Structure 1
């Protein structure tokens, strides 16, 4: 009976690969001129971690975000100029100049309130700003740049 259950379990994993290695699935695909890098949750967590609390116009109450600052992600890939295209799971995209990111600004959040974000909760990644920390982060431009369900970033060749 134990062998039969093992065979069934292995068969289910083949049918549902997301169950097999959910932690190994890429959360973010970064496309650079010379390569494409798929980053898992572990890859992102290995970068410098940023954590802050803020209110957003899309949620109720103070939210806690954990992720990597965009300036740290860009430094990781040696990106210091150009334009980025950030794209969500539903193919919504925005473009931002690399020099628009600052050390106290945008965070590529992979956790909200202590839990990974799902598509239903604006994940897997959400570009958020510490909105409460400065009026600089309370503008229509910043709000429109706060893309959620983010799963792709491309450096656009200039």
Structure 2
């Protein structure tokens, strides 16, 4: 290979490395009016809510942070009377009343104890209810709504 070609390949490689990384969408919210997608960065740019709680899927009380589900629903024109299909990356889904987001500080957690959650540890988004703040949430009904690896919210 000629010296000129090597220099060109080296410059091309440097150019590709220097390109900004494209933000990957991790959440889709779909309604009858259309859909909106969110990247991790977009979710973290929204006002954040912190919930300190434990649940049946973790060993100890943890601190979760992320945007409130209520805010994301409102951004998409979804009110408290809607029914939501929440679907995970593994295609698990559950129907949840949107009223939960309006009655409790439900969050779309993107951080656990200050760290980004990898897919293998229930990330990148875990629907978290403030279980410790409301005795009625310590029920199997609400534990079933703690969708981890959330990928989409669709109105029913």
TM-score (normalised: structure 2): 0.83
Look up the match of 1:151: 151
- How far is 1:20 from its partner? 3.8
Tell me the secondary structure at the aligned position of residue 27 of structure 1: strand
Look up the match of 1:27: 26
Task: Give the whole-Å Cα distance in 1 for the aligned partners of 2:7 and 2:66.
Answer: 42
Conserved? CA contact 1:54–1:132, under 8 Å: yes
List structure 1 runs of 4+ shifted beyond 6 angstroms: 9-13
Measured on the aligned residues, the alpha-carbon RMSD in Å equals 2.4
Query: Any unmatched runs of 5+ in structure 1?
Result: 14-18
Number of equivalences:
150
Tell me the secondary structure at the aligned position of residue 102 of structure 2: coil
Conserved? CA contact 1:83–1:155, under 8 Å: yes
- String of CA shifts for 1:79-119, please: whole Å, max 9, x gaps: 11321110000100011122233343321111111111111
Look up the match of 2:45: 46
Task: Give the whole-Å Cα distance in 1 for the aligned partners of 2:67 and 2:103.
Answer: 11
- Are the structure 2 counterparts of residues 9 and 85 from structure 1 closer, same or farther at C-alpha, using a change threshold of 3 Å? farther
Task: Give the whole-Å Cα distance in 1 for the aligned partners of 2:14 and 2:153.
Answer: 35
- String of CA shifts for 1:30-85, please: whole Å, max 9, x gaps: 11112121111222223221012112221122211001121121112221132111
- Are the structure 2 counterparts of residues 9 and 123 from structure 1 closer, same or farther at C-alpha, using a change threshold of 3 Å? farther
Conserved? CA contact 2:110–2:123, under 8 Å: yes
- Map residues 2-151 of structure 1 onto 2, 5 A cutoff: 3-8=8-13, 20-21=21-22, 24-80=23-79, 81-151=81-151
